[in-house]
Structure 1
Protein backbone atom coordinates (compact mmCIF):
# COMPACT_ATOMS: atom_id res chain seq x y z
CA UNK A 1 0.00 0.00 0.00
CA UNK A 2 1.07 3.57 -0.55
CA UNK A 3 1.83 5.75 2.44
CA UNK A 4 -1.16 7.01 4.33
CA UNK A 5 -2.47 10.48 3.58
CA UNK A 6 -1.63 12.87 6.42
CA UNK A 7 -4.85 13.97 8.10
CA UNK A 8 -5.37 15.75 11.37
CA UNK A 9 -7.54 13.97 13.95
CA UNK A 10 -10.60 16.06 13.19
CA UNK A 11 -10.48 15.09 9.50
CA UNK A 12 -10.50 11.30 9.88
CA UNK A 13 -14.18 11.03 10.73
CA UNK A 14 -15.28 13.29 7.90
CA UNK A 15 -13.01 11.48 5.45
CA UNK A 16 -13.81 7.90 6.43
CA UNK A 17 -17.43 8.05 7.62
CA UNK A 18 -19.12 7.98 4.20
CA UNK A 19 -17.26 4.74 3.35
CA UNK A 20 -17.68 2.83 6.61
CA UNK A 21 -21.05 1.29 5.74
CA UNK A 22 -19.68 0.39 2.30
CA UNK A 23 -16.64 -1.27 3.88
CA UNK A 24 -18.85 -3.24 6.29
CA UNK A 25 -21.05 -4.47 3.42
CA UNK A 26 -18.06 -5.66 1.37
CA UNK A 27 -16.55 -7.32 4.44
CA UNK A 28 -19.74 -9.19 5.23
CA UNK A 29 -20.44 -10.26 1.63
CA UNK A 30 -16.78 -10.97 0.83
CA UNK A 31 -17.75 -9.99 -2.69
CA UNK A 32 -17.68 -6.48 -4.16
CA UNK A 33 -20.39 -7.10 -6.79
CA UNK A 34 -22.86 -8.55 -4.27
CA UNK A 35 -22.13 -5.71 -1.85
CA UNK A 36 -22.67 -3.17 -4.63
CA UNK A 37 -26.02 -4.75 -5.42
CA UNK A 38 -27.00 -4.66 -1.74
CA UNK A 39 -26.01 -0.99 -1.44
CA UNK A 40 -27.53 -0.10 -4.84
CA UNK A 41 -24.33 1.52 -6.09
CA UNK A 42 -22.32 0.71 -9.25
CA UNK A 43 -19.69 -1.95 -8.68
CA UNK A 44 -16.82 0.20 -10.08
CA UNK A 45 -17.82 3.02 -7.71
CA UNK A 46 -17.67 0.67 -4.73
CA UNK A 47 -14.33 -0.79 -5.85
CA UNK A 48 -12.84 2.69 -6.14
CA UNK A 49 -14.21 3.62 -2.71
CA UNK A 50 -12.56 0.61 -1.08
CA UNK A 51 -9.27 1.31 -2.82
CA UNK A 52 -9.42 4.92 -1.66
CA UNK A 53 -10.20 3.80 1.90
CA UNK A 54 -7.15 1.56 1.96
CA UNK A 55 -5.06 4.30 0.42
CA UNK A 56 -6.17 6.85 3.01
CA UNK A 57 -5.48 4.45 5.88
CA UNK A 58 -2.23 3.20 4.38
CA UNK A 59 -3.29 -0.36 5.26
CA UNK A 60 -4.49 -3.30 3.18
CA UNK A 61 -7.94 -4.25 4.45
CA UNK A 62 -8.76 -6.89 1.84
CA UNK A 63 -6.97 -9.79 0.21
CA UNK A 64 -8.39 -10.09 -3.32
CA UNK A 65 -9.10 -13.48 -4.91
CA UNK A 66 -10.59 -12.84 -8.33
CA UNK A 67 -14.14 -11.58 -7.75
CA UNK A 68 -14.12 -12.40 -4.05
CA UNK A 69 -12.30 -10.73 -1.19
CA UNK A 70 -11.35 -11.68 2.35
CA UNK A 71 -10.32 -9.52 5.24
CA UNK A 72 -6.71 -9.15 6.24
CA UNK A 73 -5.91 -9.14 9.99
CA UNK A 74 -5.99 -5.33 9.84
CA UNK A 75 -9.32 -5.52 8.04
CA UNK A 76 -10.84 -7.76 10.75
CA UNK A 77 -9.68 -5.35 13.46
CA UNK A 78 -11.07 -2.42 11.52
CA UNK A 79 -14.40 -4.20 10.91
CA UNK A 80 -14.99 -4.75 14.61
CA UNK A 81 -14.60 -1.04 15.32
CA UNK A 82 -16.65 -0.05 12.27
CA UNK A 83 -19.56 -2.30 13.26
CA UNK A 84 -19.58 -0.84 16.78
CA UNK A 85 -19.50 2.69 15.35
CA UNK A 86 -22.34 1.98 12.91
CA UNK A 87 -24.41 0.39 15.68
CA UNK A 88 -23.87 3.48 17.84
CA UNK A 89 -24.98 5.72 14.96
CA UNK A 90 -28.10 3.56 14.54
CA UNK A 91 -28.86 3.88 18.25
CA UNK A 92 -28.34 7.65 18.15
CA UNK A 93 -30.57 8.01 15.10
CA UNK A 94 -33.29 5.91 16.71
CA UNK A 95 -33.04 7.96 19.90
CA UNK A 96 -33.48 11.32 18.18
CA UNK A 97 -36.28 9.93 15.99
CA UNK A 98 -38.00 8.59 19.10
CA UNK A 99 -37.63 11.92 20.93
CA UNK A 100 -39.24 13.73 17.99
CA UNK A 101 -42.17 11.33 17.67
CA UNK A 102 -45.38 13.43 17.70
CA UNK A 103 -47.25 11.10 20.02
CA UNK A 104 -44.48 9.61 22.19
CA UNK A 105 -41.57 12.04 21.93
CA UNK A 106 -39.66 13.82 24.67
CA UNK A 107 -39.82 17.35 26.11
CA UNK A 108 -36.90 18.64 28.21
CA UNK A 109 -38.65 21.02 30.59
CA UNK A 110 -37.18 23.15 33.36
CA UNK A 111 -39.01 24.91 36.18
CA UNK A 112 -38.40 26.77 39.42
CA UNK A 113 -38.34 24.92 42.74
CA UNK A 114 -41.30 26.97 43.97
CA UNK A 115 -43.43 25.77 41.05
CA UNK A 116 -42.71 22.12 41.78
CA UNK A 117 -45.20 21.19 44.50
CA UNK A 118 -48.44 22.11 42.70
CA UNK A 119 -48.11 24.09 39.48
CA UNK A 120 -45.93 21.82 37.36
CA UNK A 121 -47.61 18.52 38.39
CA UNK A 122 -50.98 20.07 37.51
CA UNK A 123 -49.72 21.24 34.13
CA UNK A 124 -48.27 17.85 33.27
CA UNK A 125 -51.43 16.05 34.36
CA UNK A 126 -53.62 18.28 32.19
CA UNK A 127 -51.30 18.07 29.17
CA UNK A 128 -50.97 14.30 29.39
CA UNK A 129 -54.73 13.92 29.37
CA UNK A 130 -54.52 14.59 25.61
CA UNK A 131 -50.91 13.44 25.08
CA UNK A 132 -50.57 10.39 27.35
CA UNK A 133 -47.43 8.97 25.73
CA UNK A 134 -45.30 12.12 25.59
CA UNK A 135 -42.26 11.75 27.86
CA UNK A 136 -40.76 14.53 30.00
CA UNK A 137 -37.20 15.11 31.08
CA UNK A 138 -37.74 17.39 34.06
CA UNK A 139 -35.13 19.75 35.51
CA UNK A 140 -35.85 21.71 38.69
CA UNK A 141 -33.43 24.61 39.11
CA UNK A 142 -33.07 28.34 39.58
CA UNK A 143 -33.61 30.81 36.75
CA UNK A 144 -30.06 31.52 35.56
CA UNK A 145 -29.19 27.82 35.49
CA UNK A 146 -32.24 27.08 33.34
CA UNK A 147 -31.39 29.88 30.92
CA UNK A 148 -27.92 28.35 30.60
CA UNK A 149 -29.63 25.01 29.94
CA UNK A 150 -31.66 26.53 27.11
CA UNK A 151 -28.53 27.99 25.53
CA UNK A 152 -26.65 24.70 25.88
CA UNK A 153 -29.47 22.78 24.18
CA UNK A 154 -30.18 20.82 27.37
CA UNK A 155 -33.71 22.23 27.77
CA UNK A 156 -36.47 22.88 25.26
CA UNK A 157 -38.57 25.14 27.50
CA UNK A 158 -38.50 26.51 31.01
CA UNK A 159 -40.86 28.21 33.45
CA UNK A 160 -39.01 30.96 35.24
CA UNK A 161 -39.31 34.29 37.03
CA UNK A 162 -38.73 37.07 36.40
CA UNK A 163 -39.50 36.73 32.70
CA UNK A 164 -36.09 36.89 30.98
CA UNK A 165 -35.22 39.63 28.52
CA UNK A 166 -32.35 38.56 26.26
CA UNK A 167 -31.89 38.88 22.47
CA UNK A 168 -31.28 35.14 21.99
CA UNK A 169 -34.41 34.08 23.92
CA UNK A 170 -38.14 34.21 23.32
CA UNK A 171 -40.14 34.68 26.52
CA UNK A 172 -43.85 34.99 27.12
CA UNK A 173 -45.49 36.15 30.35
CA UNK A 174 -48.00 33.55 31.58
CA UNK A 175 -49.09 34.72 35.01
CA UNK A 176 -48.11 36.64 38.11
CA UNK A 177 -47.82 35.51 41.68
CA UNK A 178 -48.24 37.64 44.79
CA UNK A 179 -45.34 37.66 47.23
CA UNK A 180 -45.93 37.84 50.95
CA UNK A 181 -43.84 39.09 53.84
CA UNK A 182 -43.36 36.00 56.01
CA UNK A 183 -42.71 36.66 59.70
CA UNK A 184 -42.48 34.43 62.80
CA UNK A 185 -45.81 33.92 64.54
CA UNK A 186 -44.53 35.78 67.61
CA UNK A 187 -43.30 38.79 65.61
CA UNK A 188 -44.74 42.24 66.43
CA UNK A 189 -46.22 42.35 62.89
CA UNK A 190 -47.80 38.91 63.20
CA UNK A 191 -51.12 40.32 64.30
CA UNK A 192 -51.48 42.29 61.09
CA UNK A 193 -52.97 41.14 57.78
CA UNK A 194 -51.31 43.78 55.61
CA UNK A 195 -48.02 45.61 55.78
CA UNK A 196 -46.00 48.12 53.83
CA UNK A 197 -42.60 46.67 53.01
CA UNK A 198 -40.90 49.78 54.41
CA UNK A 199 -42.11 48.67 57.85
CA UNK A 200 -39.64 45.76 57.61
CA UNK A 201 -36.63 47.96 56.83
CA UNK A 202 -34.97 47.26 60.19
CA UNK A 203 -35.54 43.49 60.02
CA UNK A 204 -33.02 40.78 59.17
CA UNK A 205 -33.97 38.97 55.97
CA UNK A 206 -33.43 35.37 54.96
CA UNK A 207 -33.24 35.21 51.16
CA UNK A 208 -32.25 33.06 48.26
CA UNK A 209 -28.69 33.29 47.00
CA UNK A 210 -27.63 35.88 44.39
CA UNK A 211 -28.46 34.58 40.90
CA UNK A 212 -31.91 33.38 41.90
CA UNK A 213 -34.78 35.31 40.35
CA UNK A 214 -36.62 35.69 43.66
CA UNK A 215 -33.48 37.23 45.19
CA UNK A 216 -33.36 39.86 42.44
CA UNK A 217 -37.05 40.59 42.96
CA UNK A 218 -36.55 40.88 46.74
CA UNK A 219 -33.66 43.32 46.31
CA UNK A 220 -35.65 45.36 43.79
CA UNK A 221 -38.78 45.58 45.95
CA UNK A 222 -36.77 46.55 49.02
CA UNK A 223 -35.02 49.26 47.00
CA UNK A 224 -38.42 50.56 45.88
CA UNK A 225 -39.43 50.64 49.55
CA UNK A 226 -36.37 52.75 50.32
CA UNK A 227 -33.95 50.31 51.96
CA UNK A 228 -31.38 47.61 51.32
CA UNK A 229 -32.22 44.38 53.15
CA UNK A 230 -29.87 43.20 55.89
CA UNK A 231 -29.31 39.56 54.98
CA UNK A 232 -28.93 37.02 57.77
CA UNK A 233 -28.93 33.91 55.57
CA UNK A 234 -28.82 33.03 51.86
CA UNK A 235 -30.30 29.71 50.80
CA UNK A 236 -31.30 27.71 47.75
CA UNK A 237 -34.89 26.72 48.47
CA UNK A 238 -37.92 28.76 49.49
CA UNK A 239 -39.35 26.28 52.00
CA UNK A 240 -36.02 26.21 53.84
CA UNK A 241 -36.30 29.98 54.19
CA UNK A 242 -39.85 29.63 55.53
CA UNK A 243 -38.56 27.19 58.15
CA UNK A 244 -35.80 29.61 59.16
CA UNK A 245 -38.38 32.37 59.54
CA UNK A 246 -40.34 30.07 61.87
CA UNK A 247 -37.12 29.58 63.85
CA UNK A 248 -36.81 33.33 64.30
CA UNK A 249 -33.78 33.96 62.07
CA UNK A 250 -35.48 36.75 60.13
CA UNK A 251 -38.28 37.61 57.72
CA UNK A 252 -38.63 36.77 54.03
CA UNK A 253 -40.46 37.73 50.85
CA UNK A 254 -41.87 34.49 49.47
CA UNK A 255 -44.60 33.14 47.20
CA UNK A 256 -47.49 31.32 48.90
CA UNK A 257 -46.64 27.83 50.19
CA UNK A 258 -48.19 24.70 48.76
CA UNK A 259 -49.19 23.73 52.31
CA UNK A 260 -49.50 26.23 55.21
CA UNK A 261 -46.54 26.04 57.54
CA UNK A 262 -46.90 26.39 61.30
CA UNK A 263 -44.83 28.95 63.11
CA UNK A 264 -45.15 31.74 60.52
CA UNK A 265 -47.63 34.39 59.50
CA UNK A 266 -47.86 35.52 55.88
CA UNK A 267 -48.71 39.17 55.37
CA UNK A 268 -50.04 40.86 52.24
CA UNK A 269 -47.64 43.59 51.08
CA UNK A 270 -49.57 46.71 50.11
CA UNK A 271 -46.65 48.82 48.87
CA UNK A 272 -44.77 48.46 46.67
CA UNK A 273 -46.80 46.00 44.60
CA UNK A 274 -45.13 42.72 45.50
CA UNK A 275 -45.54 40.23 42.67
CA UNK A 276 -43.33 38.15 40.45
CA UNK A 277 -44.13 37.46 36.83
CA UNK A 278 -43.92 33.83 35.72
CA UNK A 279 -43.10 33.18 32.09
CA UNK A 280 -42.08 30.49 29.65
CA UNK A 281 -38.85 30.88 27.70
CA UNK A 282 -37.12 29.10 24.86
CA UNK A 283 -34.12 29.66 22.60
CA UNK A 284 -34.90 31.89 19.63
CA UNK A 285 -34.62 30.10 16.30
CA UNK A 286 -34.44 26.67 17.92
CA UNK A 287 -36.61 24.27 15.87
CA UNK A 288 -39.29 22.49 17.88
CA UNK A 289 -40.01 18.80 17.62
CA UNK A 290 -43.75 18.03 17.44
CA UNK A 291 -44.07 17.15 21.16
CA UNK A 292 -42.21 20.34 22.18
CA UNK A 293 -44.43 22.44 19.89
CA UNK A 294 -47.55 20.83 21.38
CA UNK A 295 -46.45 21.48 24.96
CA UNK A 296 -45.48 25.07 24.10
CA UNK A 297 -48.95 25.69 22.64
CA UNK A 298 -50.47 24.18 25.77
CA UNK A 299 -48.46 26.44 28.09
CA UNK A 300 -49.35 29.55 26.10
CA UNK A 301 -53.01 28.58 26.24
CA UNK A 302 -52.78 28.68 30.04
CA UNK A 303 -51.90 32.36 30.11
CA UNK A 304 -53.54 33.86 33.20
CA UNK A 305 -54.51 30.40 34.49
CA UNK A 306 -51.11 29.00 35.38
CA UNK A 307 -51.24 29.49 39.15
CA UNK A 308 -53.94 28.62 41.67
CA UNK A 309 -56.04 31.58 42.77
Structure 2
Protein backbone atom coordinates (compact mmCIF):
# COMPACT_ATOMS: atom_id res chain seq x y z
CA UNK A 1 0.00 0.00 0.00
CA UNK A 2 1.32 3.48 -0.90
CA UNK A 3 1.68 6.45 1.39
CA UNK A 4 -1.67 8.20 1.61
CA UNK A 5 -2.60 11.80 2.31
CA UNK A 6 -3.85 10.94 5.80
CA UNK A 7 -0.42 9.59 6.74
CA UNK A 8 1.17 12.95 5.90
CA UNK A 9 -1.63 14.74 7.74
CA UNK A 10 -0.93 12.65 10.86
CA UNK A 11 2.80 13.33 10.63
CA UNK A 12 2.20 17.07 10.25
CA UNK A 13 -0.16 17.12 13.21
CA UNK A 14 2.35 15.31 15.46
CA UNK A 15 5.16 17.68 14.43
CA UNK A 16 2.92 20.70 14.98
CA UNK A 17 1.46 19.58 18.33
CA UNK A 18 4.67 17.96 19.63
CA UNK A 19 2.84 14.89 20.92
CA UNK A 20 0.44 12.16 19.89
CA UNK A 21 -2.12 13.44 22.39
CA UNK A 22 -2.03 16.95 20.98
CA UNK A 23 -2.12 15.66 17.39
CA UNK A 24 -5.18 13.51 18.15
CA UNK A 25 -6.95 16.59 19.47
CA UNK A 26 -6.03 18.58 16.35
CA UNK A 27 -7.37 15.87 14.04
CA UNK A 28 -10.37 14.99 16.21
CA UNK A 29 -9.38 11.34 16.34
CA UNK A 30 -8.22 8.83 18.96
CA UNK A 31 -4.63 8.33 20.06
CA UNK A 32 -4.56 4.62 19.08
CA UNK A 33 -5.75 5.41 15.55
CA UNK A 34 -3.20 8.17 15.15
CA UNK A 35 -0.38 5.97 16.51
CA UNK A 36 -1.24 3.21 14.01
CA UNK A 37 -1.20 5.69 11.09
CA UNK A 38 2.12 7.10 12.22
CA UNK A 39 3.67 3.64 12.61
CA UNK A 40 2.33 2.70 9.17
CA UNK A 41 3.98 5.77 7.64
CA UNK A 42 7.34 4.86 9.16
CA UNK A 43 6.94 1.29 7.88
CA UNK A 44 6.23 2.53 4.35
CA UNK A 45 9.17 4.94 4.46
CA UNK A 46 11.51 2.33 5.81
CA UNK A 47 12.94 4.52 8.54
CA UNK A 48 11.89 6.01 11.91
CA UNK A 49 10.61 9.55 12.08
CA UNK A 50 10.61 9.75 15.86
CA UNK A 51 12.63 8.43 18.74
CA UNK A 52 10.44 7.06 21.54
CA UNK A 53 11.63 7.88 25.03
CA UNK A 54 9.45 7.06 28.04
CA UNK A 55 6.26 7.47 26.01
CA UNK A 56 7.37 10.73 24.41
CA UNK A 57 8.33 11.41 20.78
CA UNK A 58 11.40 13.25 19.63
CA UNK A 59 11.66 14.12 15.92
CA UNK A 60 14.66 12.82 14.03
CA UNK A 61 16.69 14.88 11.58
CA UNK A 62 14.84 13.13 8.75
CA UNK A 63 11.51 14.07 10.31
CA UNK A 64 12.51 17.74 10.54
CA UNK A 65 13.64 17.73 6.89
CA UNK A 66 10.42 16.04 5.82
CA UNK A 67 8.34 18.50 7.86
CA UNK A 68 9.97 21.44 6.07
CA UNK A 69 8.97 19.97 2.72
CA UNK A 70 5.45 19.17 3.94
CA UNK A 71 4.99 22.76 5.14
CA UNK A 72 6.12 24.14 1.80
CA UNK A 73 3.65 21.87 0.04
CA UNK A 74 0.77 22.80 2.36
CA UNK A 75 1.53 26.50 1.94
CA UNK A 76 1.58 26.03 -1.82
CA UNK A 77 -1.73 24.19 -1.66
CA UNK A 78 -3.18 26.98 0.46
CA UNK A 79 -2.12 29.50 -2.19
CA UNK A 80 -3.69 27.35 -4.91
CA UNK A 81 -6.96 27.16 -2.96
CA UNK A 82 -6.90 30.89 -2.27
CA UNK A 83 -6.26 31.63 -5.94
CA UNK A 84 -9.03 29.26 -7.02
CA UNK A 85 -11.47 30.99 -4.67
CA UNK A 86 -10.32 34.42 -5.86
CA UNK A 87 -11.00 33.38 -9.46
CA UNK A 88 -14.55 32.56 -8.43
CA UNK A 89 -14.85 36.12 -7.13
CA UNK A 90 -13.12 37.48 -10.26
CA UNK A 91 -10.42 39.04 -8.10
CA UNK A 92 -7.47 40.10 -10.19
CA UNK A 93 -9.30 39.22 -13.41
CA UNK A 94 -8.49 41.34 -16.46
CA UNK A 95 -11.08 42.35 -19.04
CA UNK A 96 -9.99 43.65 -22.44
CA UNK A 97 -12.51 45.90 -24.20
CA UNK A 98 -12.34 47.20 -27.77
CA UNK A 99 -14.74 50.02 -28.59
CA UNK A 100 -15.38 53.09 -30.66
CA UNK A 101 -13.67 56.20 -29.24
CA UNK A 102 -17.04 57.89 -28.68
CA UNK A 103 -18.22 54.98 -26.53
CA UNK A 104 -15.09 55.02 -24.39
CA UNK A 105 -15.94 58.64 -23.60
CA UNK A 106 -19.71 58.60 -23.29
CA UNK A 107 -20.83 55.05 -22.43
CA UNK A 108 -18.14 53.09 -20.61
CA UNK A 109 -17.22 55.31 -17.63
CA UNK A 110 -20.50 54.90 -15.75
CA UNK A 111 -20.75 51.19 -16.47
CA UNK A 112 -17.13 50.62 -15.40
CA UNK A 113 -17.77 52.48 -12.16
CA UNK A 114 -20.57 50.02 -11.43
CA UNK A 115 -18.48 47.00 -12.41
CA UNK A 116 -15.43 47.98 -10.34
CA UNK A 117 -17.58 48.77 -7.32
CA UNK A 118 -18.59 45.10 -7.23
CA UNK A 119 -15.19 43.78 -8.40
CA UNK A 120 -12.62 46.22 -6.98
CA UNK A 121 -9.63 43.96 -7.72
CA UNK A 122 -10.52 43.53 -11.41
CA UNK A 123 -8.50 45.26 -14.13
CA UNK A 124 -9.94 46.65 -17.34
CA UNK A 125 -7.99 47.50 -20.51
CA UNK A 126 -9.86 49.76 -22.96
CA UNK A 127 -8.65 50.12 -26.55
CA UNK A 128 -10.45 52.67 -28.77
CA UNK A 129 -10.60 51.81 -32.48
CA UNK A 130 -12.67 52.60 -35.54
CA UNK A 131 -13.86 50.20 -38.25
CA UNK A 132 -12.48 48.45 -40.20
CA UNK A 133 -9.74 47.91 -37.61
CA UNK A 134 -12.29 47.30 -34.86
CA UNK A 135 -14.05 44.65 -36.96
CA UNK A 136 -10.79 42.93 -37.92
CA UNK A 137 -9.47 42.75 -34.34
CA UNK A 138 -12.73 41.32 -33.03
CA UNK A 139 -12.77 38.68 -35.78
CA UNK A 140 -9.21 37.78 -34.78
CA UNK A 141 -10.47 37.13 -31.21
CA UNK A 142 -8.05 39.67 -29.70
CA UNK A 143 -10.46 41.11 -27.10
CA UNK A 144 -12.94 39.81 -24.53
CA UNK A 145 -15.61 42.31 -25.57
CA UNK A 146 -16.24 44.80 -28.35
CA UNK A 147 -18.67 47.72 -28.47
CA UNK A 148 -19.79 49.20 -31.76
CA UNK A 149 -22.60 51.15 -33.37
CA UNK A 150 -24.96 49.37 -35.77
CA UNK A 151 -22.70 46.29 -35.83
CA UNK A 152 -22.85 44.05 -38.87
CA UNK A 153 -22.25 40.27 -38.73
CA UNK A 154 -18.56 39.38 -38.38
CA UNK A 155 -16.87 35.96 -38.70
CA UNK A 156 -16.28 34.37 -35.32
CA UNK A 157 -18.27 37.04 -33.47
CA UNK A 158 -21.69 37.03 -31.83
CA UNK A 159 -23.52 40.36 -31.96
CA UNK A 160 -25.84 41.31 -29.10
CA UNK A 161 -27.89 44.53 -28.74
CA UNK A 162 -26.88 46.68 -25.79
CA UNK A 163 -29.09 49.73 -26.09
CA UNK A 164 -31.18 51.69 -28.54
CA UNK A 165 -32.15 55.33 -28.25
CA UNK A 166 -32.87 58.27 -30.55
CA UNK A 167 -30.41 60.76 -31.97
CA UNK A 168 -30.81 64.25 -30.51
CA UNK A 169 -30.15 67.85 -31.50
CA UNK A 170 -27.36 69.87 -29.89
CA UNK A 171 -27.26 73.65 -30.11
CA UNK A 172 -25.70 76.63 -28.37
CA UNK A 173 -27.55 77.60 -25.19
CA UNK A 174 -28.12 81.14 -26.50
CA UNK A 175 -29.52 80.00 -29.85
CA UNK A 176 -33.15 81.07 -30.56
CA UNK A 177 -34.14 77.41 -31.11
CA UNK A 178 -33.05 76.55 -27.57
CA UNK A 179 -36.46 77.76 -26.42
CA UNK A 180 -38.09 74.87 -28.29
CA UNK A 181 -38.87 71.76 -26.20
CA UNK A 182 -38.56 69.52 -29.25
CA UNK A 183 -37.14 70.28 -32.66
CA UNK A 184 -38.66 69.48 -36.05
CA UNK A 185 -36.47 68.97 -39.08
CA UNK A 186 -37.93 72.16 -40.54
CA UNK A 187 -36.45 74.12 -37.61
CA UNK A 188 -33.00 73.53 -39.15
CA UNK A 189 -33.90 75.29 -42.44
CA UNK A 190 -31.18 77.76 -43.41
CA UNK A 191 -29.09 77.24 -40.27
CA UNK A 192 -25.42 76.34 -40.19
CA UNK A 193 -24.99 72.63 -39.52
CA UNK A 194 -22.05 70.61 -38.18
CA UNK A 195 -21.99 67.16 -39.78
CA UNK A 196 -20.32 63.88 -39.08
CA UNK A 197 -17.90 62.65 -41.76
CA UNK A 198 -19.34 61.79 -45.16
CA UNK A 199 -18.71 58.06 -44.73
CA UNK A 200 -20.44 57.86 -41.34
CA UNK A 201 -23.69 55.79 -41.53
CA UNK A 202 -25.49 58.21 -39.20
CA UNK A 203 -24.44 61.12 -41.41
CA UNK A 204 -26.00 59.36 -44.39
CA UNK A 205 -29.17 58.66 -42.39
CA UNK A 206 -29.45 62.26 -41.20
CA UNK A 207 -28.85 63.68 -44.69
CA UNK A 208 -31.50 61.36 -46.12
CA UNK A 209 -34.06 62.57 -43.56
CA UNK A 210 -33.42 66.22 -44.36
CA UNK A 211 -33.53 65.55 -48.11
CA UNK A 212 -36.84 63.73 -47.74
CA UNK A 213 -38.25 66.63 -45.72
CA UNK A 214 -37.01 69.16 -48.30
CA UNK A 215 -34.96 71.02 -45.66
CA UNK A 216 -31.84 72.89 -46.75
CA UNK A 217 -29.03 73.41 -44.22
CA UNK A 218 -25.77 75.29 -44.53
CA UNK A 219 -23.23 72.49 -44.23
CA UNK A 220 -20.22 74.30 -42.84
CA UNK A 221 -17.96 71.80 -41.02
CA UNK A 222 -17.71 68.01 -40.82
CA UNK A 223 -15.72 65.69 -38.56
CA UNK A 224 -15.44 62.00 -37.63
CA UNK A 225 -15.85 62.72 -33.91
CA UNK A 226 -19.22 63.27 -32.23
CA UNK A 227 -17.37 64.92 -29.32
CA UNK A 228 -15.78 67.34 -31.78
CA UNK A 229 -19.22 68.03 -33.27
CA UNK A 230 -20.49 69.04 -29.83
CA UNK A 231 -17.51 71.31 -29.20
CA UNK A 232 -17.96 72.99 -32.58
CA UNK A 233 -21.61 73.59 -31.75
CA UNK A 234 -20.66 74.96 -28.33
CA UNK A 235 -18.37 77.43 -30.12
CA UNK A 236 -21.39 78.73 -32.06
CA UNK A 237 -20.44 77.33 -35.47
CA UNK A 238 -23.80 75.71 -36.11
CA UNK A 239 -26.37 73.14 -35.00
CA UNK A 240 -25.99 69.38 -35.12
CA UNK A 241 -27.62 66.00 -34.56
CA UNK A 242 -25.57 63.44 -32.63
CA UNK A 243 -26.00 60.32 -30.57
CA UNK A 244 -27.67 60.82 -27.16
CA UNK A 245 -24.74 59.39 -25.17
CA UNK A 246 -22.18 61.90 -26.44
CA UNK A 247 -24.74 64.70 -26.24
CA UNK A 248 -25.45 63.94 -22.58
CA UNK A 249 -21.74 63.71 -21.77
CA UNK A 250 -20.99 67.08 -23.43
CA UNK A 251 -24.11 69.00 -22.34
CA UNK A 252 -23.77 72.08 -20.16
CA UNK A 253 -21.53 75.14 -20.22
CA UNK A 254 -23.21 76.68 -23.26
CA UNK A 255 -24.43 73.50 -24.96
CA UNK A 256 -28.02 72.29 -24.73
CA UNK A 257 -29.67 69.08 -25.93
CA UNK A 258 -33.13 68.83 -27.44
CA UNK A 259 -35.08 65.75 -28.63
CA UNK A 260 -36.36 65.57 -32.18
CA UNK A 261 -39.89 64.98 -33.37
CA UNK A 262 -38.48 62.40 -35.80
CA UNK A 263 -36.95 59.14 -34.66
CA UNK A 264 -33.41 58.48 -35.88
CA UNK A 265 -32.48 55.31 -34.00
CA UNK A 266 -29.04 55.06 -32.44
CA UNK A 267 -27.89 51.55 -31.56
CA UNK A 268 -24.98 50.14 -29.61
CA UNK A 269 -24.10 46.46 -30.00
CA UNK A 270 -21.80 44.14 -28.10
CA UNK A 271 -19.34 42.00 -30.06
CA UNK A 272 -18.60 38.70 -28.31
CA UNK A 273 -15.72 36.55 -29.65
CA UNK A 274 -16.85 32.96 -30.19
CA UNK A 275 -13.41 31.31 -30.17
CA UNK A 276 -11.87 33.05 -27.15
CA UNK A 277 -12.31 31.74 -23.59
CA UNK A 278 -15.29 33.56 -22.09
CA UNK A 279 -14.43 36.20 -19.49
CA UNK A 280 -17.24 36.38 -16.89
CA UNK A 281 -16.56 40.08 -16.36
CA UNK A 282 -17.68 40.73 -19.94
CA UNK A 283 -21.25 39.67 -19.14
CA UNK A 284 -21.17 41.69 -15.93
CA UNK A 285 -20.04 44.78 -17.80
CA UNK A 286 -22.83 44.27 -20.33
CA UNK A 287 -25.34 44.13 -17.48
CA UNK A 288 -23.98 47.44 -16.22
CA UNK A 289 -24.30 48.90 -19.73
CA UNK A 290 -28.01 48.09 -19.87
CA UNK A 291 -29.53 50.00 -16.93
CA UNK A 292 -32.74 51.91 -17.28
CA UNK A 293 -32.69 55.61 -17.79
CA UNK A 294 -30.16 55.83 -20.60
CA UNK A 295 -30.36 59.19 -22.36
CA UNK A 296 -32.66 59.17 -25.33
CA UNK A 297 -36.04 60.41 -26.49
CA UNK A 298 -39.26 58.58 -26.97
CA UNK A 299 -39.98 57.79 -30.59
CA UNK A 300 -42.30 60.08 -32.52
CA UNK A 301 -43.13 60.39 -36.19
CA UNK A 302 -41.97 63.35 -38.22
Note if 1:239 corresponds to 2:230: no
Q: SS of 1:171's equivalent?
A: strand
Corresponding position of 2:292: 305
Corresponding position of 1:279: 269
Note if 1:156 corresponds to 2:147: no
Q: SS of 1:166's equivalent?
A: coil
Q: SS of 2:179's equivalent?
A: coil
Cα–Cα, structure 1 residues 171 and 304, in superposed 2: closer, same or farther, change >3 Å?
Answer: farther
Q: SS of 1:116's equivalent?
A: helix
Measured in 1, the distance between the counterparts of 2:277 and 2:212 equals 40
Does the 8 Å contact 1:205/1:232 carry over to 2? Answer: yes
The gaps in structure 1 that reach 5 residues or longer are 1-100
For residues 173-195 of structure 1, what are the alpha-carbon distances to aligned partners after superposition, in whole Å with 9 as ceiling and x for unaligned?
12123322122344442321211
**TM-score, reference length from structure 1:** 0.55
Does the 8 Å contact 2:141/2:276 carry over to 1? Answer: no
Q: Cα RMSD (Å) of the superposition?
A: 3.2
Cα–Cα, structure 1 residues 158 and 167, in superposed 2: closer, same or farther, change >3 Å?
Answer: closer
Note if 1:127 corresponds to 2:115: yes
Corresponding position of 1:73: none
1:70-85 to 2 correspondences below 5 Å: none
Does the 8 Å contact 1:114/1:238 carry over to 2? Answer: yes
For residues 75-97 of structure 1, what are the alpha-carbon distances to aligned partners after superposition, in whole Å with 9 as ceiling and x for unaligned?
xxxxxxxxxxxxxxxxxxxxxxx
Note if 1:270 corresponds to 2:261: yes
- What's the CA shift for 1:224? 5.5
- What's the CA shift for 1:113? 3.3
Q: SS of 1:190's equivalent?
A: helix
Measured in 2, the distance between the counterparts of 1:125 and 1:205 equals 35
Note if 1:296 corresponds to 2:283: yes
1:52-63 to 2 correspondences below 5 Å: none
- What's the CA shift for 1:205? 2.2
Does the 8 Å contact 2:112/2:288 carry over to 1? Answer: no
The gaps in structure 2 that reach 5 residues or longer are 1-86, 297-302
Larger gyration radius, structure 1 or structure 2: 2
Cα–Cα, structure 1 residues 132 and 263, in superposed 2: closer, same or farther, change >3 Å?
Answer: closer
- What's the CA shift for 1:280? 0.9
Give the paired residue count.
204
Measured in 2, the distance between the counterparts of 1:114 and 1:269 equals 21
